[in-house]
A and B are shown apart, each in its own frame.
Chain A
Amino acid sequence: MAKIIVVTSGKGGVGKTTSSAAIATGLALQGHKTVVVDFDVGLRNLDLIMGCERRVVYDFVNVINKEATLNQALIKDKRTDGLFILPASQTRDKDALTMEGVQTVLDDLSKDFEFIICDSPAGIEQGAQMALYFADEAIVVTNPEVSSVRDSDRILGILQSKSMRAEQGKNVKEHLLLTRYNPDRVATAEMLSVADVEEILAVPLVGVIPESEAVLKASNQGAPVILDQESNAGQAYTDAVRRLLGETVEYRFIEAQKKGFFKRLLGGK
């Protein structure tokens, strides 16, 4: 039986797809056979972030409609062993994903994989609810910013009331992943701190990803940022994956950088 983990946020643009790609890659790198599923029907983007956009032939909706088999639609990642991608469809039909269809596909994937990562669309409507419904665990991606934190709280409410586990009286295990974190701005009291967001949302932390130029560079090239182990963001994602697997890992990149005397005097970055 695979563990199903949804990557969700409510708000758009906070880093769901970047995080899904990085975490799925990280799990595969640690030796766990993983598939990452794009639930964003109509606005497929995971394929671009994973760098497999030209290899998409069949998609999630084709499999649900039995126009293709699961094995025909699954794309084997070229960089990382044991990693597969199930792309979303570009159809404009929002109701293309049916509950029964999604359940059948996830059940089939469950037989072959250890982890199923569901990359949720933004919003709190049908697509997002479908992505989280079958989840055992949830990674709530949040930016240290008011609208993102509020929307994360809404999506937590939906996880606790409208997921399958909630309907069965069980819990979905929640993890907070703080992204685009800027320790320098936290130090000058311009940005909510890790502790602030943890206190407001009351969800255990799994990772803090610093704001990093490496993220754009990675998406430009279609290589998940976790593969860039020279970057802070890549290392922070590796730490988050290890915590997800139950390890205790100390937090890095959450303190402001100490600057030299002259830099401080002149205000250089």
Chain B
Amino acid sequence: MGIFDYLLKKGKPNTAAVAKERLQIIVAHERRKRTEPDYLPMMQQEILEVIRKYVQIADDQVSVQLEDSDDCSVLELNITLPE
């Protein structure tokens, strides 16, 4: 990189770091999806219907996640109720 480039590129962003961060997020997300059992989306839909009998919520206000640790699996259910 020459002196001219140096003068021109003050404050140039570190694009490799951006790439790494984006990849880490998407790869972790896709790995989780790959290993989750296939009944999970259906279960999420039914849970949503049950809640809607009582409270009106949007689709994205329920999240279901299965976390695998060494000797047990944890099913994490997150419901955001409207104000």
**Measuring CB to CB, which residues of chain A are less than 8 angstroms from any residue of chain B?**
145-146, 149-150, 153-154, 157, 161, 186, 188-193, 196, 199-201, 264-268
Contacts and interface: CB of A to CB of B under 8 A. Distances in A.
B15 A189 contact: yes
Contacts of B1: 188, 264, 267
How many chain B residues sit at the interface, stated as a range, is 10 to 19
A146 B20 CA distance: 8
Contact of A200 (B4, B14, B17, B27): B27
A13 to B, nearest CB: 18
Interface in B19-72: 19-20, 22-24, 26-27, 30-31, 34
Contacts, number: 53
Interface of B: 1-5, 14-17, 19-20, 22-24, 26-27, 30-31, 34
A190 B16 contact: yes
19 contacts: A145-B19, A146-B23, A149-B23, A150-B27, A154-B30, A186-B16, A188-B1, A189-B16, A190-B16, A196-B19, A199-B20, A200-B24, A200-B27, A264-B1, A264-B2, A266-B2, A266-B3, A267-B3, A268-B2
A interface, over-half SS: helix
A142 to B, nearest CB: 11
Given A150-B30, A157-B34, A267-B4, 16 more contacts: A146-B19, A146-B22, A146-B23, A149-B27, A153-B27, A157-B30, A157-B31, A192-B16, A192-B19, A196-B19, A200-B20, A200-B23, A200-B27, A264-B2, A265-B2, A267-B1
